[in-house]
Structure 1
């Protein structure tokens, strides 16, 4: 019975992948966020209002129920491997980032709307070359024991980050957040949900357990989504601090808590490990306003 169910899942996944229309490229000449344009950057805006504090909550099209949700790792690593497509983990994506010199790096991102995937700015903007990535491939739900993207994948060439970050990334880590904008809704139709976000103070949850889930660098091995749990040790206006196991590739992972409706609310975005504790960009008023703005972007098509 289990073998038959797995065969059915694989068949459905194959059909979905074959049915996806080809991605349309984004024109670098007409898109206001084209790579290399000064208009690619966003300036800080702390006056915007009307941001969303919660996203959709629904089922992805391919809900794999054959496997347990997580399994533990060996050794002293407290993270658990996510091995089943379940909310909110299928909203979290592995990112394969192609630099302009042809090199590839990896990171993590998460959906906050049909086309907007939030990630760390240092995943998409490189201080050594002072330029953005050439393209980013977004692969949600890359955490089941299968060797292909069961929910599909999409490649984006439109990206956003804060201008303040690019001026001095080491000094301006509070601006280390950005967005990858997908060309259409095709990939999201398979995912079916995105994550909500809010300021931790407004939720009254600063002493509650929180989770962090993302994709460590695969190094040519099968990708794994790993989740950690813990508590915030301290926080300030711009950052959350916590002690949890993380590794390279997990920058851009959502740091979230659960509300009474069993919806996860993102309160931070993981971006740094200083050896003593981990650090996330705090979802404060300015961050929420900017994410809300980015979530509405629709790239112009060629």
Structure 2
């Protein structure tokens, strides 16, 4: 199997089962939703046993895309909408506080695909211009400004793709944050499924942009403008900080088809395709 498709780790060590088999033939992996909260506009549930008040300094952090040449873009009028992060699937989407290898701190976005696996952009866990593999990432599901309604966890266990880490190949720019246990999943109650995009349907994305009030999550949607072997292009509004956001469809089921990460109008996501099913399944087992 071509090592372009191989997984690499920030520790240099892999589990025995990683990179051992060919991509699976599956075209869809189901998500899980255990959330029963009604989606009532303006209602926000609070559980004081979980709630963390975030320190003021995290409200002023730059976005991870500020160290790259092509951050995400607003295409024409800004049509993004603020979401209630208590509701599904927004509670499965996480604000990331990234501490780079050089000590710099940045914001990004990620999302659950299993109890302990958060998918994000590769450049949220490996930042070449900031020293390579990041030191740590604080994962805050459903962040709401200065509040972490489901709490947070810090991880130092990361994965990405060999061709991205070694060659900065944007076609392979996705990665994983492995949480230490199931604490956050038990609170948010679900995760996204994923599938290969087969038709031109409406795409949805939601994440944590750096141009909006700090720590707030914003949604936008639209049709793809172009689909290639490795990328999905669209005029959906995004901004820096939304790297790692899920690009997902709602029909026939809620399913991630891409990992948002690039701007330029059209903006772009790395497309979920055959080898993703193998890598993401492996990362979900770690």
Please give the TM-score of this superposition, normalised by the length of structure 2: 0.78
1:185 aligns to 2:201 (yes or no): no
Corresponding residue number in structure 2 for 1:196: 193
Relative to structure 1, the CA distance from residue 140 to residue 64 in structure 2 (aligned partners, 3 Å threshold; closer, same or farther) is farther
Q: Could you tell me how far apart the structure 2 residues matched to 1:131 and 1:252 are?
A: 17
Distance 1:288 1:279 in 2: 20
Report what 1:156 is aligned to. 155
1:254-302 per-residue CA deviation (whole Å, 9 max, x = no partner) reads 0011124xx41111110111x23111111101112211111111xxxxx
- Work out whether 1:253 is the aligned partner of 2:229: no
CA contact (8 A) 2:234 2:265 kept: no
SS class of match (1:180): strand
Q: Distance in 2 between matches of 1:217 and 1:48?
A: 37
Structure 2 unaligned runs (5+)?
1-7, 45-75
2:33 aligns to what?
Answer: 57
In 2, Cα distance between the equivalents of 1:68 and 1:76?
28
Secondary structure in structure 1 of the residue aligned to 2:148: coil
Query: Given that residues 233 and 242 in structure 1 are in contact (C-alpha distance below 8 angstroms), is that contact kept between their aligned partners in structure 2?
Result: yes
Task: Please say if residues 35 and 134 of structure 1, whose CA atoms lie closer than 8 Å, have aligned partners that are also in contact.
Answer: no
Question: Aligned equivalents of 2:38 and 2:153: distance in 1?
Answer: 19
Q: Compared with structure 1, are the counterparts of its residues 109 and 38 closer, same or farther at alpha carbon in structure 2 (3 Å cutoff)?
A: same
Say whether 1:293 aligns with 2:286: no
Q: Distance in 1 between matches of 2:38 and 2:139?
A: 19
TM-score (norm. length: structure 1):
0.74
The superposition leaves residues 49-105 of structure 1 with CA deviations (integer Å, 9 ceiling, x where unpaired) of 568611111217x77846169xxxxx9311101124111111000000011322101
CA-CA distance at 1:35 after TM superposition? 3.8
Q: Is the 8 A contact 1:43 1:164 kept in 2?
A: no
Q: 2:258 aligns with which of 260, 268, 283?
A: 268
For residue 183 of structure 1, give the secondary structure of its aligned residue in structure 2: coil
With over 3 angstroms needed to count, the CA separation of the structure-2 counterparts of 1:59 and 1:44, relative to structure 1, is same
Name 2:170's counterpart in structure 1: 173
Q: What CA distance in whole angstroms lies between the structure 2 residues aligned with 1:240 and 1:218?
A: 23
Q: Report the alpha carbon displacement of residue 129 of structure 1 after superposing the two structures with TM.
A: 4.4
**Of the two structures, which has the highest relative contact order with CA contacts closer than 8 Å and spacing of 6 or more?**
2
SS at match of 2:191: coil
Structure 1: state its 5+ residue gaps. 1-32, 70-74, 298-302
Tell me which moved more, 104-113 or 79-88: 79-88
1:88-237 to structure 2, matched below 5 A, reads: 88-143=89-144, 147-169=146-168, 172-201=169-198, 206-217=199-210, 221-237=213-229
Secondary structure at 2:285 match in 1: coil
1:279 matches 2:271: no
Q: How do 1:16-55 and structure 2 match up within 5 A? A: 35-37=10-12, 39=14, 46-48=22-24, 53-55=29-31
Counterpart-to-counterpart distance in 2, 1:184 and 1:253: 22
- Calculate the aligned-residue CA RMSD, in Å: 2.6
**1:135-183 residue CA offsets vs partner (Å, 9 max, x unmatched):** 100001113xx632111111101000011111111xx111100000000
SS of aligned partner of 2:190: coil
